[in-house]
Homo-oligomer: A and B are copies of this chain.
Amino acid sequence: MGKVFDYGEVAQHNTRDSCWVILYGTVYDVTSFIDEHPGGANIILKLAGTDATEEYDPIHPPGTLEESLAPEAKLGAVDHSTLPKADKAPAQDASDTEQAPLPDVEDVLNLDEMEEVASKKVSRKAWAYYFSASDDLASKTFNNTVYRQILLRPRVFVDCTRCNTATALLQGRHRVGVPFFVAPAAMARLAHPDGEAGIARACARFGAAQLISNNASQTPEQIVAGAVPGQVFGWQLYVQNDRRKSEAMLARVNALDAVKFVVLTLDAPVPGKREHDEREARKVGAKPPAPSSVQGGGSTSTTTPEPATAAAPSNPDADAQQGRAEPQGAAVGKTLFAGTAADLTWEPTLAWLAEHTSLPIVLKGVQTHEDAYLVACHAPQVAAVVLSNHGGRALDTAPPALHTLLEIRKFCPEVLERVEVWVDGGVRRGTDVVKALALGAKAVGLGRAPLWGLGAGGTKGVERLFEILKAETETCMRLLGVERVDQLGLKHINARAVERDIYDATASTAM
């Protein structure tokens, strides 16, 4: 470790044959690791011969490197005086606008403003990853506007001096202070060094549940380290093709008392097409070193007119196929899906889970009443379902969670009795939270919002976010004449403008 390298020397090792990178001031030889990288070889080759710390740090939990590289790969230190100046610009330039200066995070008034502030503070890459959704953002937009289509029905002459936003999750097992929770969203450290652990501190203060992303930029142990008594965490699982990796993670999670349930995400067995993310990658990306071949063998996607044949039962292949249609850069979203399984089905997956954890299971990503019905059939192992279209990031023009909730009410309302129904997507206001609860949701997930809070002001920004949303929720409950969240019901809303668009199984033949 005594050796000290000039940046110029490192810079020469920028090929597949000899690939060095600088991380946290240390020079590594990663040549042998290139093809093992879960995120693909290209993303490493793009950074070959450079200081990759800024790219690497916010998306890898600490310790990742040590687990992956042999000791002899650590070559020595870099001479800091030889490093080039970094030029990391925020996503939106605040300087050239004539507008007022950014408000302090404690002066932010609502969630839209929080996003606006964060957009001017985080890197372009982080902004693109958080903001992006699939295709034309139709579902992302609809997730929000569907709430605007629902009217509230305030009652008068009701004593509203008391108001309590507390509720309990999973059949009363876990008390929480607010009916909203942090949905699993990847890589919080892209937004702010406080990361997922910072979100956890804000959750502690408000009694909010937090669902830890499978792709968190900190380890589960780090995130729950500061948990207060009674604080509620869930842990999100993307099942890996190499099941042993997932089993090892489950074992780690089982050992954490603060983690109360496992969330299995179902709505993205293959990645959606997030063009903002791809476009950002295209901008910063070098040319892919090896041109991809459309005719590459072994793909599950048959471009010649032949019957489908099974290839490797996993979606790296799918991903490779997908990758061929996309410019190869450093799109954050695409990288995260490397190695996740695309072949999950009901019985085998739940049986396998039962072997490896006794925690209750929450299934996330249900978008039809048919699947909600199937979820209910798997209670009590499955304790809750999250109606979600993945924040509009999986399949564009997929229905918002409220559509699915109304579909359940229309076709199989008994599901609401047999399993707890949570929703996420598009929540911007306390009135949105209340509307979802009035329709029968037990809890309401926040995906991008806590990341914008984090980006705007770290833990303090997330706290302010919760403070706003809780206050808005309380104001709404009081004006509806409701003291406790379990009193909310259909009589508090008018959803006719949405109801007429709900799926009608018989419509196409008898309009």
User: When chains A and B are docked, how far (Å) is the Cα of A50 from the Cα of B322?
Assistant: 51
Pairwise interchain contact B343-A475, C-beta atoms closer than 8 A = no
User: When chains A and B are docked, how far (Å) is the Cα of A480 from the Cα of B272?
Assistant: 12
Q: In this assembly, does A266 line the interface, its C-beta being within 8 Å of a C-beta of chain B?
A: yes
The smallest C-beta distance from A480 to any residue of chain B, in angstroms, reads 8
The residue from B395, B471, B479, B505 contacting A395, defined by CB atoms under 8 A apart: B479
Pairwise interchain contact A310-B162, C-beta atoms closer than 8 A = yes
Q: Please give, as numbers and ranges, the residues of chain B lying within 8 Å of A165 by CB-CB distance.
A: 301-303
Summarize A's interface: helix, strand, loop or mixed. loop
A154-B395, A472-B273 known; A305-B511 Cβ under 8 A: no
28 contacts between A and B (CB under 8 A): A109-B278, A135-B431, A136-B429, A138-B148, A148-B397, A151-B398, A153-B503, A154-B267, A155-B370, A156-B366, A157-B349, A158-B269, A161-B311, A162-B311, A163-B301, A163-B318, A164-B306, A164-B307, A166-B302, A175-B305, A267-B479, A321-B474, A326-B471, A410-B508, A410-B511, A413-B509, A491-B505, A496-B502
Pairwise interchain contact B475-A303, C-beta atoms closer than 8 A = no
Looking across the interface, which residue of chain B has its beta carbon closest to that of A476? B395
Q: Please give, as numbers and ranges, the residues of chain B lying within 8 Å of A468 by CB-CB distance.
A: 325
User: When chains A and B are docked, how far (Å) is the Cα of A164 from the Cα of B304?
Assistant: 9
User: When chains A and B are docked, how far (Å) is the Cα of A110 from the Cα of B160?
Assistant: 40
In the complex, the 5 A-B pairs of residues with the closest C-beta atoms, listed nearest first: A325-B471, A175-B305, A164-B308, A156-B266, A494-B503
The residue from B107, B275, B398, B484 contacting A282, defined by CB atoms under 8 A apart: B107
The smallest C-beta distance from A345 to any residue of chain B, in angstroms, reads 5
Q: How many residues of A are in contact with the other chain, CB < 8 A?
A: 135
Which of A389, A496, A497 is most buried by chain B, counting CB atoms within 10 A of its CB? A496
Report which A residues bind B (CB closer than 8 A): 100, 103, 106-107, 109-110, 135-136, 138, 148, 150-168, 175-178, 205-207, 230, 266-273, 275, 278-279, 282-283, 294, 300-315, 317-318, 321-322, 324-327, 342-346, 349, 363, 365-368, 370-371, 374, 389, 394-399, 403, 406, 409-410, 413, 429, 431, 439, 467-468, 470-472, 474-476, 478-480, 483-484, 490-491, 494-497, 499-505, 507-511
Q: Please give, as numbers and ranges, the residues of chain B lying within 8 Å of A318 by CB-CB distance.
A: 160-161, 163, 474, 478
Which of A206, A305, A367, A504 is most buried by chain B, counting CB atoms within 10 A of its CB? A305
User: When chains A and B are docked, how far (Å) is the Cα of A470 from the Cα of B403?
Assistant: 28
Which of A310, A318, A370, A413 is most buried by chain B, counting CB atoms within 10 A of its CB? A318
> How many copies of this chain does the complex contain?
4
A135-B110, A318-B160, A409-B509 known; A467-B294 Cβ under 8 A: yes
User: When chains A and B are docked, how far (Å) is the Cα of A496 from the Cα of B475?
Assistant: 33
Pairwise interchain contact A397-B152, C-beta atoms closer than 8 A = yes
Pairwise interchain contact A302-B475, C-beta atoms closer than 8 A = no
Q: Please give, as numbers and ranges, the residues of chain B lying within 8 Å of A158 by CB-CB distance.
A: 269, 345
